[in-house]
Amino acid sequence: MVTPSTPRLVVAAPSSGSGKTTVATGLMAAFAARGLAVSPHKVGPDYIDPGYHALATGRTGRNLDAYLCGPELVAPLFLHGARGCDIAVVEGVMGLYDGAAGEGELASTAQVAKLLGAPVVLVVDASAQSRSVAALVHGFVSWDPQVRIGGVILNKVGSARHEELLREALDSVGVPVLGALRRARPVETPSRHLGLVPVAERRALAVSAAAEMAELVSRGCDLPALEALARTAGAVPGGAAPWTPDLSPTHDDPPASAEGPRPRVAVAGGPAFTFSYAEHTELLTAAGAEVVIFDPLRDEELPEGTAGLVIGGGFPEVYAAELSANEPLRKAVAELALSGAPVAAECAGLLYLCRELDGSPMCGVLDATARMAQRLTLGYRDAVAVGDSVLAAAGARMRGHEFHRTVVEPGAGAAPAWGIRGRERRVEGFVQRGVHASYLHTHWASEPGVARRFVERCRTS
């Protein structure tokens, strides 16, 4: 049962690299080991950290993104994820007050903490300071009085004497020290060009890493005090109710069919396609679809009776040879797309539909090639649908996020998917037959009519 006063903590830091993923994941696992049902959340569009959160808690990791979904959906989506839980832990993004570029506090950890009415635990890298830590923490405490920093966890503490000096300095700030983690060999969480290696690619090692984080946090933190701090969170501000898959129409969508067969929607999964939001499959199911997960690395056929296909983000560039070697599935995807069936592809899905990726043959649905690039493309985008597609009517506006180190040439088809607004005005992506393919990651909870429209097209195509 969801209550609007679910105990909750936000784990934040002054900057990236301070150790908040280790602390947040370890805290989730440590609470779970104490018998608590823990709801895991991540601020921002990150797809990888929620995988580690899910390992730590045994529950689906969920994102809270005030840019993609709007501030008004942050609390409802949180309560939806916290259903049936005893406590929730929210891992922040970047530094506490860092948000969307040029947008003030929008999409920052601080904004999400305020929207949830949640106390913040500040993880501070103390490796190169002693008394100065007091000035740092004082600055973060006083910057925005509406953000309640309820405690500090000191990371990379060098010795007992170092910890003593840090605690003495922080006594003057009035913020309790809730943990001190000694400088040690980092928990093995390897990274590559887009961040941590996802859980699906290193399952056994990831389980060990989550257990190691739990041990580190349990040994160095005051878990009863952290749990007590979480319980000081009152009702979520604004009387928020849990989000449910509201399938309201988008723009001029036709009315939904009240009855009829449940079309089967195949959703790509496995190690090559790990980037997706849990709400997408929930929305597809609520819209009347039967969702079936398949693995393009291993399955040589689409699920029997597939009426529509969703291919989200991930790392096809890492698995290009294996994806290419699965020729039967590539042909099946091409045939489905040629038939006019709805196909929604984001980022990794876009690459998979191209003729080739770094010289390896892909599905050949799009007359385009993809390759790795030196430059990282990263940032939020405001987009408008250039024309009608299986996802949106012409003129529909959505917010999205780009995160890739690849290039598709050409970057847009004769019928582009999106027009990107703002300083960077351009078109991108491809719409042809029932295919909608784009680099843009979107969160369908912000426009649930997207899932409804897609499922309707699956029924009628």
Q: List residues with catalytic annotation.
A: 347
Torsion of CA 447, 450, 452, 454, to 10 degrees: -170
Tokens read off for 308: 């529509």
Q: 432 with 396: CB under 8 angstroms? A: no
Which residue's structure tokens are 């991930």? 314
For 85, which DSSP code? -
Tokens read off for 126: 């103390």
Alpha-carbon Rg of the chain, whole angstroms?
Answer: 23
Tokens read off for 399: 């917010």
Distance CA 201, CA 213 (A): 19
Distance CA 251, CA 255 (A): 11
Instruction: Give the closest residue to 310 by CA, choosing from 251, 353, 271.
Output: 353
Identify the helix (H) or strand (E) that includes residue 132.
helix 132-143
Instruction: Give the closest residue to 123 by CA, choosing from 94, 146, 99.
Output: 94
Query: Using CB atoms within 10 A of its CB, is residue 305 exposed (0-12), middle (13-18) or buried (19+)?
Result: exposed
Query: Using CB atoms within 10 A of its CB, is residue 145 exposed (0-12), middle (13-18) or buried (19+)?
Result: exposed
3-state helix, strand, coil split of the chain in percent (to 5) is 30, 25, 45
**Type of residue found at 390:** V
Distance CA 341, CA 308 (A): 6
Identify the helix (H) or strand (E) that includes residue 349.
helix 348-353
For 129, which DSSP code? -
